[in-house]
């Protein structure tokens, strides 16, 4: 919970990206073992596993003691309980119960009892102790087959005596609507760890072999029927239908593939829920779909503030195709990037005229990215460059007509924050990404998309999902 609070604070600070439009699973450190002591919905880290237990020899033997039970999101190999709390959000997939013990003897009778509400959930009160004299144990409760929801209690027994008990709840997240829905579709030539599209576009060159379609979803029951349908020039070329299978809300993707290259033409992806079209979008391969870009690119020296040119060049010279394309948009659309002394509190912002929303996206004025001079003086170049990339993402959303034009949405912020984090990683500042987004960015650079989406919703409470 402490990390979640820190994450919310980080997002609040970084609403420093206060644009006009203003996205989990904690990485596991342990592998469960000894599943035979629990049903399918539970796995356990057993005391006989050296990497999951810290042992010592007591000076004098006494009565066996179990410590207070702590519930958390994860437990490290060293026995550290990550994000301890007694209240978990709806959609939490695993909860860990951690406790220490001393003066226990191998062979003694012990056990544990899980209850959900007033009903027995798991009864394992007839076990034999094999964990030695002292150390720690961590048992996980998983909701893969039976989603975690409601109040849970764990009671520990020595013999027939209950010696320790603890409880937690999995609460329901509030939402403006409980109707199942797909959000806007983004097409790209690649996909990130957070399941957002890379090189987002609606036009692709001939020869491309795969196009990804990323989209958010919400309130979709695992057993709800859904289907997808790909069309080229209005003719169906691929279909799929089945149960949704993934509960809660988040972001996912599908893709269209042809190893010989997708044939030139105009493509459509239709997403269906219960037989009704729930979302649709188009892209083109090798042909012009919407046009409208300037014939002559602008000069970066005229469009980018001289003080910000080093940050812009970090994006323009990046090997990452997404960062490069965002920098290219500065000259192609063109979108100016300027320093300002009038932006209070925020690091950067994307400013555009909301009254132009009635125009076709490719005809809208490009707007401007502005950077706070005082924040600029306090931050590393990589942070400034990443902040500019965040705001250029909002510029792209506006100029390509992605989603609602007249306000913010969780999806738009999720995409922009993902770009910010990815930009820091691409520029070799994983340390900054992890410091600013505790719990979201793993040591390998993977982004916990579910946790990021949750945190953005906690901060941007007035913004709809899409």
Beta bridge partners of 203: 284
Q: Do 19 and 131 sit in the same domain of this protein?
A: no
189 found inside a domain? yes
Q: Do 223 and 330 sit in the same domain of this protein?
A: no
What is the number of domains present in the chain? 3
- How far apart CA 304 and CA 168 sit, in angstroms, is 53
Q: Do 300 and 250 sit in the same domain of this protein?
A: no
Looking at the predicted structure, is the pLDDT value of residue 291 above 70?
no
The predicted-structure confidence for 103-131, as pLDDT tens digits, reads as follows 999 999 999 999 998 889 889 999 999 88
Choose among 266, 271, 244, 255: nearest CA to 190. 255
H-only helix segments in 306-429: 309-316, 321-332, 373-378, 381-400, 410-426
33 found inside a domain? no
35 found inside a domain? no
37 found inside a domain? no
- How far apart CA 253 and CA 41 sit, in angstroms, is 27
Q: Do 281 and 222 sit in the same domain of this protein?
A: yes
Q: Do 213 and 361 sit in the same domain of this protein?
A: no
Looking at the predicted structure, is the pLDDT value of residue 213 above 90?
yes
258 found inside a domain? yes
376 found inside a domain? yes
- What pLDDT was estimated at residue 344? 74
Q: Do 243 and 104 sit in the same domain of this protein?
A: no
465 found inside a domain? no
Q: Do 160 and 240 sit in the same domain of this protein?
A: no
Last residue of some domain: 267, 285, 303? 285
Q: Do 423 and 311 sit in the same domain of this protein?
A: yes
Q: Do 299 and 442 sit in the same domain of this protein?
A: yes
Q: Using N-to-C axis directions, what is the helix angle for 309-316 and 381-400, rounded to 10°? A: 70
Q: Do 343 and 364 sit in the same domain of this protein?
A: yes
Q: Do 300 and 272 sit in the same domain of this protein?
A: no
Q: Is the dihedral of CA 466, 22, 387, 296 positive or negative?
A: positive
* ∠ CA 363-365-366, rounded to 5°: 110
Q: What pTM does this model have?
A: 0.50
What does each C-alpha distance from 194 to 89, 124, 139, 202 come to in angstroms? 20, 38, 28, 20
Q: Are 367 and 395 in contact (CB under 8 A)?
A: yes
358 — pLDDT class (breaks 50, 70, 90): confident
**DSSP of 101-132:** EES--TT-EEEEEEEETTEEEEEEEEEE--S-
- What pLDDT was estimated at residue 204? 83
CATH number of the domain enclosing 243: 2.60.40.1930
290 found inside a domain? no
What is the extent of the structural domain holding 73? 42-171
Distance of CA 15 to the CA centre of its chain: 17
Looking at the predicted structure, is the pLDDT value of residue 18 above 90?
no
CB atoms within 10 A of CB 446: 15
Q: Do 336 and 281 sit in the same domain of this protein?
A: no
Last residue of some domain: 143, 171, 199? 171
Last residue of some domain: 149, 171, 193? 171
- What pLDDT was estimated at residue 287? 63
The predicted-structure confidence for 131-180, as pLDDT tens digits, reads as follows 889 888 999 888 766 778 889 999 999 999 999 999 998 875 444 457 88
């Amino acid at each position: 919970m402490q990390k979640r609070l820190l994450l919310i604070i980080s997002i609040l600070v970084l609403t420093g990206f206060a644009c006009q439009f203003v996205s989990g699973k904690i990485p596991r450190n342990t592998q469960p073992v000894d599943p035979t002591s629990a049903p399918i919905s539970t796995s356990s880290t057993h005391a006989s596993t050296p990497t999951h237990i810290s042992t010592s020899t007591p000076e004098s033997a006494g009565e066996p003691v179990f410590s207070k039970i702590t519930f958390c999101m994860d437990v490290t190999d060293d026995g550290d309980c990550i994000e301890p709390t007694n209240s978990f959000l709806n959609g939490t997939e695993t909860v860990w119960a951690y406790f220490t013990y001393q003066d226990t003897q191998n062979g003694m009778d012990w056990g544990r009892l899980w209850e959900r509400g007033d009903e027995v959930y798991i009864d394992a009160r007839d076990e034999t102790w094999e964990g030695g004299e002292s150390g720690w144990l961590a048992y996980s409760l998983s909701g893969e087959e039976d989603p975690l929801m409601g109040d849970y209690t764990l009671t520990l027994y020595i013999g027939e005596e209950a010696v320790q008990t603890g409880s937690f709840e999995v609460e329901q997240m509030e939402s403006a609507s409980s109707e199942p829905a797909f959000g806007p579709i983004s097409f790209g030539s690649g996909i990130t760890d957070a399941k957002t599209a890379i090189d987002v576009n609606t036009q692709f060159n001939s020869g491309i072999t795969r196009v990804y379609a990323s989209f958010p979803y919400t309130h979709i029951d695992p057993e709800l029927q859904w289907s997808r349908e790909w069309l080229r020039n209005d003719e169906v070329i691929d279909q799929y239908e089945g149960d949704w299978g993934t509960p809660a809300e988040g972001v996912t993707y599908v893709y269209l593939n042809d190893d010989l290259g997708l044939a030139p033409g105009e493509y459509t992806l239709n997403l269906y829920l219960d037989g009704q079209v729930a979302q649709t979008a188009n892209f083109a391969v090798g042909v012009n779909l919407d046009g409208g870009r300037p014939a002559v690119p602008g000069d970066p020296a005229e469009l980018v503030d001289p003080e910000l040119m080093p940050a812009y060049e970090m994006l323009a010279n990046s090997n990452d195709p997404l960062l490069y394309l965002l920098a290219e948009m500065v000259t192609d659309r063109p979108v100016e990037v300027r320093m300002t002394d009038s932006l209070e509190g925020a690091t950067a912002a994307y400013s555009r005229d909301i009254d132009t929303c009635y125009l076709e996206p490719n005809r809208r004025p490009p707007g401007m990215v502005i950077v706070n001079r005082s924040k600029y003086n306090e931050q590393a170049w990589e942070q400034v460059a990443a902040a500019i990339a965040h705001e250029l993402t909002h510029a792209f959303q506006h100029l390509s007509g992605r989603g609602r034009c007249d306000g913010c949405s969780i999806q738009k912020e999720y995409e922009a924050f993902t770009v910010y984090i990815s930009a820091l990683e691409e520029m070799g500042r994983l340390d900054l990404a992890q410091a600013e987004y505790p719990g979201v960015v793993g040591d390998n650079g993977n982004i916990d998309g579910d946790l990021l989406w949750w945190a953005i919703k906690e901060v941007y409470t007035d913004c709809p999902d899409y």
